[in-house]
Amino acid sequence: MVAHGRSKHNAAWSGLTWVVRLAALGALSAGCTSPDYPNCENDRHCQRDGHREFCVQRHCQQCRSGADCGAEQTCLRGRCVDGVNACDGDNDCLAGQVCTDHRCVVRPECDATRGCGTGRHCELGHCTADSTEDADPTDNRGPQCQLEPPYFDFDDNTLTSAARETLARDAECLRRETGSRYTLIGRCDSRGTTEYNLALGERRARVVRQYMMNLGVLPDRIAVSSEGSEGATGSDEEGMRRDRRVDFRLRP
């Protein structure tokens, strides 16, 4: 009688054990289940079923940065859009810029509601000195801007945030320095073939030119050229980083 009771007890305990095991297995399986698209926890969840996206703040997005987009595109709130300075609002632009027609442009120095003060007038959004009869027409001090080159990541022609800030300062000075003209010289580090680097240097120069034009620099003042890796001197990572740039060369 006792043996029979123990047998029933063991059978009941064995059945309970299997229930616990199955429950644990179910919980483990549930824990391994990937979230439904477009939700994600890592990039792998965004690269299934034909998707080739990135996990950004637990949501699959087309891009994480401008490096994930094509040439002359930028990553704006998770999607690749045409133009290196695209925007949806002023918060997408650098300081001193506003979003107009989905492009970051320099905030006008003056307009119909903001004047320029005595002796100056507003011309195309910029304050210009009034002409006077006694002004010396031969007073031409020449170029005054000390233009800084923007730098690029390896094998990339996307403008970084630091490069955009540099170009914003350059453009501000060029808008005040009337008459001078420059050639934008695209450069690369020593890695890669001559032909590839010449093409990459030109793409970098064109991106810089477009960005400068969007910041109000007249197109006839900035031309484009490339010297590729010619003149590259960097032998370590920092030196090669400084080779990847666009220089401003004054034209006669």
Q: What is the mean pLDDT of the chain?
A: 80
Could you give the angle at the alpha carbon of 155 between the alpha carbons of 237 and 74, nearest 5°? 120
| Boundary of a domain, candidates 51, 68, 85 | 68
- Beta strands 120-123; 126-129: pairing state: antiparallel
Mean pLDDT of 3-32: 54
Contacts of 112 (CB under 8 A, 6+ apart): none
pLDDT of residue 123: 66
Residues 6+ apart with CB under 8 A from 161: 94
Q: Give me the pLDDT at residue 9, please.
A: 52
* Within a domain: 29: no
Q: Give me the CATH number covering residue 189.
A: 3.30.1330.60
Mean pLDDT is lowest, of 50-54, 123-127, 150-154, 208-212, for 123-127
Per-residue CA distances from 33 to 24, 36, 41, 86 (Å): 14, 9, 11, 37
Q: Does residue 166 surpass a pLDDT of 80?
A: yes
Q: Are residues 150 and 243 in the same domain?
A: yes
Q: Per-residue pLDDT for 84 more than 80?
A: no
Question: Domain boundary residue among 44, 68, 92?
Answer: 68
Give the per-residue pLDDT at 208. 96
60-69, 184-193, 218-227: range with lowest mean pLDDT:
60-69
Same domain, 151 and 240: yes
- At 112 the pLDDT is 60
Amino acid at 34: S
Is 88 contained in some domain?
A: no
Q: Indicate whether 28 belongs to any domain.
A: no
Domain-located, residue 132: no
Residue 128: inside a domain: no
Q: Kindly state the average pLDDT of the residues 108-123.
A: 67
> Residue 174: inside a domain, yes or no?
yes
User: Going along 107-219, which residue ranges are E strands?
Assistant: 120-123, 126-129, 181-187
Does a structural domain hold residue 233? yes
Residue 47, domain extent: 36-68
- Position 183 in a domain: yes
pLDDT, position 138: 42
What's the pLDDT band for 136 if we cut at 50, 70, 90?
very low
87: tokens are 């925007």
Count the domains in the chain.
2
Residue at which a domain ends, from 49, 68, 87: 68
Q: What is the pLDDT of residues 191-249, one digit of tens each?
A: 999 999 999 999 999 999 999 999 889 999 999 999 999 999 999 999 999 999 999 99
pTM exceeds 0.85: no
